Amino acid sequence: MRTAPVAHERRHTLHFLEELRPFAPVFLDTEVDMSRVLAHRAASRAGGGHYSIVSYVLHVAGRALVRHPEANAAIRGRVRPTVARYPAAHGKVTLDKTLNGRRVVLAAVVPDTDRASLEEVQRRIDHLRDGDPAAMPEFSGVRVLHRLPWPLRPLAYRLGSRPLARRAEVLGTFAVTSLGHRPVDGFHSVGGTTVTLGIGRVLERPVVRDGAVAIAPIMRLNLAFDHRVIDGAEAADLLADVKDGLEGFAEHLPALSGEGADERR
């Protein structure tokens, strides 16, 4: 047997998981008919564009979150817990990246997904997916964390992520994570936000429509929520809104105050 210290490139993950200990997770899931999304995606590709499934979910979920302000929130404190509710929805995405030759999970925030157009969301995803994490400013904090000595790393992580005023900027107000590019039907993940949406692959499956069996592209959509912040009924309503938004997808989804101004699969 050989032992070795945890790689520097994965230490941010350990600190993140340590901070998640107070989280009280509850898990929901549903199935989404992706016919409208895939039709829009195919038409976009024919015109030279491209959109990832993650971008569609961010686009729809951001608009749904601001209609559920109790869920677009964060909590801090044990003795006297405080909840912050955010006026805008910022979506955190997880990224499969290589840093210093080691495969790691990194995360970054797509801001204002409640107002951003699908194209704007996709541009941000492309930038995050294609950039070099060793040089990108979005991951400068992670690189600094890796270089700090052990006694300072947990403290630096807490100072950077715990304050409610900075939480939305650093962690987002909700998270989207996907393993749908692999043969994974669905999974539940806790992304450090009150709500995390987990995306599985899209597969053609039998469905019943008007009493007859048909075939449709179905995606498992999982939702993990922090029971300290919201209850199951609110989470179920949010999940239903995201499902409805994807199944009835229109290119120009209305934002709360008007029209909207993991990685491509």
Q: pLDDT tens digits for the chain (265 residues)?
A: 888 777 878 878 877 877 778 889 999 999 999 999 999 999 998 888 899 999 999 999 999 999 999 999 999 888 889 999 999 999 999 999 999 899 999 999 999 999 999 999 999 999 999 999 999 999 998 898 888 887 888 888 787 777 888 888 888 999 999 997 888 998 888 988 999 999 999 999 999 888 999 999 999 999 999 999 999 999 999 999 999 999 999 865 444 333 333 433 4
Q: What is the structure's pLDDT at 4?
A: 79
Backbone φ and ψ for 184, nearest 5 degrees, come out as -120, 120
Q: Could you tell me which residues come within 8 angstroms of residue 21 by beta carbon, excluding any fewer than 6 positions away? A: none
Q: Where are the alpha helices (DSSP H) in 68-196?
A: 118-130, 140-147, 152-161, 164-171
Query: What single-letter amino acid sits at 11?
Result: R
Both structure tokens of 161:
């992520």
Both structure tokens of 219:
């995606």
Q: What is the structure's pLDDT at 212?
A: 93
Domain ranges of the chain: 8-259
Q: What is the structure's pLDDT at 251?
A: 60
How many H helices and E strands in the chain?
Answer: 8, 10
Q: What is the structure's pLDDT at 187?
A: 84
Q: How many CB atoms lie within 10 A of CB 239?
A: 22
Backbone φ and ψ for 117, nearest 5 degrees, come out as -75, 165
**Beta pairing partners, 109:** 92
Q: CB-based burial of residue 146 (10 Å sphere; 0-12 exposed, 13-18 middle, 19+ buried)? A: middle
Residue 259 three-state SS: strand
Whole-model pTM over 0.85? yes
Q: What is the structure's pLDDT at 258?
A: 37
Q: How many CB atoms lie within 10 A of CB 77?
A: 11
Q: What is the structure's pLDDT at 180?
A: 79
**Beta pairing partners, 215:** 206
Q: Classify domain 8-259 at the CATH superfamily level.
A: Chloramphenicol acetyltransferase-like domain (3.30.559.10)
Nearest to 26 by CA among 253, 246, 230: 230
